[in-house]
Amino acid sequence: DAGVIQSPRHEVTEMGQEVTLRCKPISGHNSLFWYRQTMMRGLELLIYFNNNVPIDDSGMPEDRFSAKMPNASFSTLKIQPSEPRDSAVYFCASRSGTADNSPLHFGNGTRLTVT
């Protein structure tokens, strides 16, 4: 079991540039979640998918953020254009099944710095 794989681990970009974060969930998991972690706001849910379908994107900060899950083994989170306040650690997590007591498995995160 390779775990949830995120890339890149670190991303430094300039304001206005497009940023794409990638996630490969654990094979067989059918729910995928994107979270953002900052010192000020802690861990915030951005969006989550069940069976590749977006279920709740109410946490996406604004239209600059978009997420896709074209198949069961891959998801992207895109920010276009990026701004300094987007600097944070972005985590992807996956879960087997949809039962509310199933644990989430997190990737190691992507640390994004927008200058």
Tell me which residues touch another protein (CB under 8 A). 4, 31, 33, 35, 41-43, 45, 48, 50, 55-56, 91, 93, 98-101, 103-104, 106-109
Cβ proximity to another protein, 45 vs 72, nearer residue: 45
Please give the Cα distance from 43 to 57 (Å, whole number): 15
Least distance in angstroms from the C-beta of 81 to another protein: 27
- Phi first, then psi, for residue 92 (nearest 5°) are -110, 145
Q: What is the DSSP letter of 40?
A: T
Cβ proximity to another protein, 18 vs 109, nearer residue: 109
Q: What is the DSSP letter of 80?
A: S
Least distance in angstroms from the C-beta of 21 to another protein: 14
Cβ proximity to another protein, 3 vs 84, nearer residue: 3
Cβ proximity to another protein, 37 vs 66, nearer residue: 37
Q: Which residues contact 94 (CB under 8 A, 6 or more apart)?
A: 4, 25, 26, 29, 31, 32, 33, 104, 105
Least distance in angstroms from the C-beta of 2 to another protein: 13
| Tokens describing residue 36 | 């953002």
Least distance in angstroms from the C-beta of 54 to another protein: 12
Specify the 3-state DSSP secondary structure of 97.
coil
